[in-house]
Structure 1
Amino acid sequence: MATSLPLLALRTFVEVGQRGSIKAAAEALSVTSGAVSQQIRLLEDRIGMALFTRERSGLRLTEAGASVHPALFQAFEQMQEALQSLEEIKSRQTLTVSTVATFAASWLVPRLGRFNLRHPHIEVRVEATSAVVDMRRDRVDVALRHGLGSYPGLAVTRLMAPILVPVASSAFMAASPELMEPVDCLNFPLLHDSDRADWSLWLTAHGVAKDPRAERGTAFEDDFLLIRAAEAGQGLALVPQEYAREEIAAGRLVQVMDKPWPARFAYYVVTRPEAVQRAEIKAFVEWIQEEARETIE
């Protein structure tokens, strides 16, 4: 017997053996009855024995045919499952999104489930980093960045500008004089982000004259650390309202003054210009813009 057998003939044998009919097997394989009969003859000739007994009601497996049919049937089922897995892998799309940890934890990740429900075939990989990424070298598809929107050579879409509010721990405020006006904040330790610009801009926006005290105090690289420092009672922090929403609701932080202010910086969606045409990137950008509009509204 030959060491290898034609796959099509084996597949035809499985279908005929399962259905007991040349015609039914032909319909399942989308071929003619003559083609099925030819493949069965080819297989029987190759192995040198009959696999079916011809009866008036159809075909019945011989003893030899019945002995191998279950194993071959299972083998083709496994091959079909393997091919289906390959099709799923082929249709699955992966998207790498880079953003800072605070934005990922406080805004993006809680909403990401809605994107997954809408686009279950797109797998999103979130990289949380404050480092500047190279969109080509680092294999990042979408970067969500906080800045002034100047990213030369890249496609940039404005997402939203966070609303900054002054917060502190309730214990810190309980032991401190009451804050009446924005200028009173200068009497307290101020906690800053790495740019040390927000307090000066916030005070100026609320009519406070330029004062060197607005730039003093500890600075933190990430808003997450800034919020933790405020929680620990180290001073007043000016943070995006969305980031501190959970801490304020839980009473770990209090908004010390009802003076929200639009930040000078905004969040932007940044991609490679040619990447915008990719279906998965286009879907993600459209979805995150929808989420941002709902946040603003």
Structure 2
Amino acid sequence: MDLEKLHSLNAGLPLLALRAFVEVGRRGSIKAAAQALHVTSGAVSQQIRLLEDRTGVTLFTRAHQGLTLTEAGASVHPALSQAFTQIAQAVQWLEQTKARQTLTVSTVATFAASWLVPRLGRFNQRHPEIEVRVEATSALADMRQGRVDIALRHGLGVYPGLEVTLLMAPVLVPVARPGLVDSAGPLQSPADCLDHPLLHDGDRADWRLWFAAHGVAEDARAERGSAFEDDFLLIRAAEAGQGIALVPQEYASEEIAAGRLVQVLDKPWPARFAYYLVTQPQARERPAVKAFTDWVLDEAQAAP
């Protein structure tokens, strides 16, 4: 009769008492169960007594090594243990679902400020349920740590073990402060830039490649001048009249429109490096990652 009573446990039984029963049954100890539940041993003992009083069934017997489940207790312990495992899994799934609605996007500060952030409002309107956190840094994100969901990287697109999609290849144009080159007459050819101070990107590669693309012979003057790790700093130096800078057209568009910079030659050149969208394999199966990926590729295709 007692066993039948225990099998007919109903929803009126306190959840805390059932949880205490499951943990004591797993560990064979009131003290160990209390540590797992982050409560006192007295609280666990009280819950076990409450459960036994409510059911009229003895659930444990005291043995030399600790507490042992009675026949009645052992008959229901697996089902109750599985039920609490399922509850924990369901709660974890809810937490992960919430976490998946927050995206962390890593990219360089210049690209974030000049291209991504001004457009981000359109993504928010399309997907108000997704919160985007933009991490603007020149350091490469370690995608394997899972802290960054999407990286918009500037490079050659070689990222082993990751899923890579070309986003855009920026067009570089030579710009300077108005009046900087006019004193010597308008520039007629790419080689004329060598007569002025040149401002370089961090690895001093762009000017050399630009000159080569336009048929200018190697010249030591192409290596001279200050270098800047960030394109924003490069643009600021050009605005200050320190020399001619070779920068992505998109980045300097606001300064050119405002008259703070002028394009000194109509010689645009596709950069050797491009921007790529990088994710972990299978990450784009997540709805939030797929939504951002689809949106940013649409924006890149629509951009001039």
Q: TM-score normalised to the size of structure 1?
A: 0.68
1:105 is paired with a residue whose SS is helix
C-alpha distance in structure 1 between counterparts of 2:300 and 2:99, whole Å: 28
Partner of 2:105: 97
- Partner residue of 1:107 out of 115, 121, 130: 115
Contact 1:165–1:258 at 8 Å: present in 2 too? yes
CA drift of 1:93 comes to 0.6
Map of 1:131-150 to 2, 5 A cutoff? 131-137=139-145, 139-150=147-158
CA drift of 1:212 comes to 2.0
Contact 1:144–1:267 at 8 Å: present in 2 too? yes
1:227 is paired with a residue whose SS is helix
Gaps of 5+ in 1: 1-5, 7-85
C-alpha distance in structure 1 between counterparts of 2:142 and 2:204, whole Å: 26
Partner of 2:189: 181
1:264 is paired with a residue whose SS is coil
Partner of 1:273: 281
C-alpha distance in structure 2 between counterparts of 1:173 and 1:250, whole Å: 18
Partner of 2:259: 251
Contact 2:100–2:288 at 8 Å: present in 1 too? no
Partner of 1:130: 138
Map of 1:39-50 to 2, 5 A cutoff? none
C-alpha distance in structure 2 between counterparts of 1:135 and 1:247, whole Å: 34
Map of 1:1-297 to 2, 5 A cutoff? 90=98, 93-137=101-145, 139-296=147-304
Deviation per CA, 1:51-110: give whole Å up to 9, x if none: xxxxxxxxxxxxxxxxxxxxxxxxxxxxxxxxxxx99x9497100000011100100001
1:285 is paired with a residue whose SS is helix
CA drift of 1:221 comes to 0.4
Contact 1:92–1:121 at 8 Å: present in 2 too? no
Of 175-184 and 233-242, more deviation after overlay is shown by: 175-184
CA drift of 1:191 comes to 0.5
Contact 2:109–2:136 at 8 Å: present in 1 too? yes
Contact 1:191–1:235 at 8 Å: present in 2 too? yes
AA matched with 1:180: Q
CA drift of 1:167 comes to 0.1
Runs of 4+ in 1 over 6 A off after TM superposition: none
2:242 is paired with a residue whose SS is coil
Deviation per CA, 1:106-128: give whole Å up to 9, x if none: 00001001111111100000010
How many residues are aligned here?
Answer: 212
C-alpha distance in structure 2 between counterparts of 1:250 and 1:151, whole Å: 38
1:170 is paired with a residue whose SS is coil
C-alpha distance in structure 2 between counterparts of 1:103 and 1:91, whole Å: 26
AA matched with 1:221: E
Partner of 2:37: none
CA drift of 1:175 comes to 3.8
C-alpha distance in structure 2 between counterparts of 1:174 and 1:252, whole Å: 15
Contact 2:177–2:240 at 8 Å: present in 1 too? yes
Gaps of 5+ in 2: 1-13, 15-93
2:160 is paired with a residue whose SS is coil
CA drift of 1:293 comes to 0.5
